[in-house]
Structure 1
Amino acid sequence: MRAECTEVQVRPGVEADLDALTALYNHYVRETAITFDTAIFTPEERGPWLLSHPEDGPYRLMVATEPDTQEILGYSTSSPFRMKPAYATSVETSVYVAPGAGRRGVGTLLYTALFEALSGEDLHRAYAGIALPNEASVRLHERFGFRHVGTYGEVGRKFGRYRDVAWYEKELP
């Protein structure tokens, strides 16, 4: 991990973060195939998503900020894996790092904080879907103990091209 990481602060996300988090996510919607959303969101549309990630419980939102400016550098989440009751001990995780904040270890800090926050919850597995190609995300997930369990071929279409999604799984303590 790089030394500059120690200056980044990670905390639970709060309602005051909504505009910045929406703008960050919309960058990925507009510019990348990382997410399969294809239309940008307003903060009002994104509000229920933020509120579905309280400061406790299995569904968390962790935010990385610059200590001086409080500029949001990225966020990580744990969300329901599937809505059926038998899946309640599984979560889907994700990390989004702001443009220009990559290669600083922000994703590593966010996942470290997320998994520490989840350690006391009644959870058994974490899953992550990675739209391919995305070597940085594959490396991050493998560093955190995720293992590749399969790939959905051409499961989504964005920017006129079909995309594969690799699925990764991690046992939670």
Structure 2
Amino acid sequence: MKVRTAIPDDAAAIAAIYAPIVRHTAISFETEPPSEAEMRERIEKTLASLPWLVAEDAAGEVAGYAYASRHRERAAYQWSVDVTVYVRDDARGQGVGRALYEHLLPLLAALGYHQAFAGIALPNAGSVALHEAAGFAALGVYRRVGFKLGQWRDVGWWQKALRPTDGAPPTAPHPFSAPR
């Protein structure tokens, strides 16, 4: 398996992974799958400042993806990010999510981020297991926070320290620079 920085041309494969998750599960709280063009815009916008990675299977096809986004807008949150990982249905259980986090989390630490957060729509034993195996610890649950597929849904939150938080950080995190 190869993990690399996403490019806008990965949008179709990423949209194809994400669409059934949006349509048929409560894993994502989106209700309409984004088009390929919308996914391309999301990739480009994210890569302007944060990493978006894809994992390729042995055939060179995108098997999963992971990215970071700002945790909150206020300046004091600038050292924290939210992280997300999605894996193609037929590639689950093969270490794709783990490989993506093994690349993404150290990259975020190197950029100067101190904390990573993951929100998981519950129940989702696979995602909980992935995040806890990657070193995330459960924080708490937003109860009945979203309504999808005819039911109120809970979202659990997990946190992972990426760097020590002793004292003030020396500088703001560095923007991600996608390889050319």
When the two structures are superposed, what TM-score results if normalisation uses the length of structure 1? 0.90
Question: 1:41 Cα deviation (Å)?
Answer: 1.3
Which segments of 5 or more consecutive residues in structure 2 lack a partner in the other structure?
164-180
Instruction: Give, in whole Å, the separation in 2 of the partners of 1:119 and 1:150.
Output: 24
Residue 124 of structure 1 corresponds to 114
The share of aligned pairs that are identical, in percent, is 39
Cα-to-partner distance string for 1:111-143 (whole Å, 9 max, x where unaligned): 001112222112111000000001111111111
Residue 31 of structure 1 corresponds to 24
SS for the counterpart of 2:4 is: strand
Report the number of matched residues. Answer: 163
Letter of the 2:11 counterpart = L
Instruction: Give, in whole Å, the separation in 1 of the partners of 2:40 and 2:146.
Output: 25
Instruction: Give, in whole Å, the separation in 1 of the partners of 2:79 and 2:42.
Output: 20
Instruction: Give, in whole Å, the separation in 1 of the partners of 2:115 and 2:106.
Output: 14
- The 8 Å contact of residues 82 and 118 in structure 2, kept in 1 or not, is answered as yes
Instruction: Give, in whole Å, the separation in 2 of the partners of 1:10 and 1:127.
Output: 21
Root-mean-square deviation (Å): 1.3
Instruction: Give, in whole Å, the separation in 2 of the partners of 1:48 and 1:159.
Output: 27
Question: 1:46 Cα deviation (Å)?
Answer: 2.1
Instruction: Give, in whole Å, the separation in 1 of the partners of 2:46 and 2:95.
Output: 23
2:51 maps to which of 43, 48, 60: 60
2:10 maps to which of 7, 17, 32: 17
Where has structure 1 moved over 4 Å in runs of 4 or more? none
When the two structures are superposed, what TM-score results if normalisation uses the length of structure 2? 0.86
Instruction: Give, in whole Å, the separation in 2 of the partners of 1:19 and 1:83.
Output: 29
1:48 maps to which of 27, 41, 47: 41
Alignment of 1:53-132 (within 5 A): 53-54=46-47, 57=49, 59-67=50-58, 69-132=59-122
